[in-house]
Chains A and B, each alone.
Chain A
């Protein structure tokens, strides 16, 4: 006990001097963030995600799979074949699948039930890797989300199934585990923080969740690929030192429901271009 108190008193004085030094850190950081803002602005001038959108649009209208049908009967929640505004109301509960689904799992569902792909075929390349291993799902997602630009997010969080997933997702958000004790909240639970030079949205607040969720999927320049929200979660957990999040799993949809639901009200702005 004595020892702990000593530690704490000592830690407090150390922290006070660190806070004094923080002023210098902030001054240095300002010019850096200005330049980073300039960098992001210059990137926004041309977003290669448009190349994915074009490919996805072609895929959406073309007959595919063993049944040689297009996505014209695929219901994303607004009726068969309706793409306009569809992403802004996902995830939602689909009675035909008896499940809450996000965009990516719904696309897989349509490929399997409408087009005749097996589940394995439909999910064999969910995250693309260069032109030799490109992902149809990423292209389809890029197209579908582009048709929700400017549409206010309105995930049906009051629907009981979605509500349940939302609450489970919230618990997951705070779940600390792994070798490094990380939870989503470790990096995304506070205002005005950044990792390296990347601003970290505070996802516990509506503004933070809105800003983050409405810009995914995104073209990641570090990868030269369009990445979906399923990928975003998968890669966050990799960096959290967790095992691998299964594509389309309940946990992935619960967390998506939580974050998408918190983004309600904000206009959808993806696909964005990011570092």
Chain B
């Protein structure tokens, strides 16, 4: 199973700043191994960020997003103690959901 994400959600003024690091190979499908065999593509395709029950960001990614992806953005109406939940799904249909509390 995939490793947990590292999520930070901090209230800055009236906005919640979310920073997340995900553990993923993000293999492009363009690289070859030592034997010259193509390493198959393996990458996160969808990311969804929820604040309580509301989607605050939805993303589609290609394999050009860097290994161990980083993402940072801000949304309004968050309050200290609220939950921010992040889910990713990769092209192997592997998925991971983690949450953080707004601080």
Query: Which residues B1-51 have CB closer than 8 A to chain A?
Result: 3-4, 6, 19, 21, 23, 25
Point out the residues of chain B lying under 8 angstroms from A130, CB to CB.
25
Q: A54-B3, A54-B6 are in contact. Are A48 and B25 (CB under 8 A)?
A: no
Q: What mask results when residues 25 to 66 of chain A are scored 1 for a CB within 8 Å of chain B, else 0?
A: 000000000000000000001111011001100000000000
Quick one: which of A46, A47, A48, A51 contacts B72, CB cutoff 8 A? A46
In this complex, what residue of A is CB-closest to B25? A131
Name the one of B3, B19, B66 contacting A51, with C-beta atoms under 8 angstroms.
B3
Tell me if B67 counts as interface (CB < 8 A to partner A): yes
Known A54-B3, A55-B3; judge A46-B21 contact (CB<8 A).
Answer: yes
Check: B61 CB closer than 8 A to any chain A CB. Answer: no
Q: CA–CA, A48 to B71, complex, Å?
A: 11
B70 sits at the interface (CB 8 A)? yes
Chain A residues closer than 8 Å to B4, beta-carbon distance: 54
B91 on the A face (CB < 8 A): no
CB distance from A199 to the nearest CB of B (A): 23
Report if B95 contacts A (CB, 8 A): no
In the complex, whether B97 has a CB less than 8 A from a CB of chain A is no
How far, in angstroms, from A47 to B69 measured CA to CA in the complex? 10
- The residue in B4, B23, B68 that gathers the most chain A C-beta atoms within 10 A of its C-beta is B68
Q: What is the count of residue pairs linking A and B with beta-carbon distances less than 8 angstroms?
A: 30
CA–CA, A112 and B25, complex, Å: 31
CB distance from B102 to the nearest CB of A (A): 18
How far is A130 from B67 in the complex, measured between Cα atoms in Å?
Answer: 10
Residue A224, interface by CB 8 Å:
yes
Contact of B19 among A45, A54, A221, A224 (CB under 8 A): A45
A-facing residues in B65-85 (Cβ within 8 Å):
66-68, 70, 72
Bound CA span A51–B23, Å = 7
Q: Please measure, in the bound complex, the distance between the C-alpha atom of A54 and the C-alpha atom of B4, giving whole angstroms.
A: 9
Chain A residues in 8 Å Cβ range of B19: 45-46
**B-side contacts of A221, CB under 8 Å:** 66
Bound CA–CA A46/B70 (angstroms) = 7
The residue of chain B having its C-beta at the shortest distance from the C-beta of A46 within the complex is B70
Whether B6 and A51, one on each chain, are in contact in the complex, defined by CB atoms closer than 8 angstroms, is yes
B67 cross-chain contacts in A, Cβ below 8 A: 224
Residues A48 and B68 in contact in the complex (CB < 8 Å), given A130-B25, A131-B25:
yes
> Nearest chain A CB to B57's CB is how many angstroms away?
16
B21/A48 in contact, CB under 8 A: yes
List B residues at the A interface (Cβ < 8 Å).
3-4, 6, 19, 21, 23, 25, 66-68, 70, 72
If A45-B72, A46-B21, A51-B68 are given as contacts, then 11 extra A-B residue pairs at C-beta distance below 8 Å, sorted by A number, are: A45-B19, A45-B70, A46-B70, A47-B21, A48-B68, A51-B6, A51-B21, A51-B23, A55-B3, A130-B25, A224-B25
Interfacial residues, chain A to chain B (CB-CB below 8 A): 45-48, 50-51, 54-55, 130-131, 221, 224
17 contacting pairs across A/B (C-beta < 8 A)? A45-B19, A45-B72, A46-B19, A46-B72, A48-B21, A51-B3, A51-B21, A51-B68, A54-B3, A54-B6, A55-B3, A131-B23, A131-B25, A221-B66, A224-B25, A224-B67, A224-B68
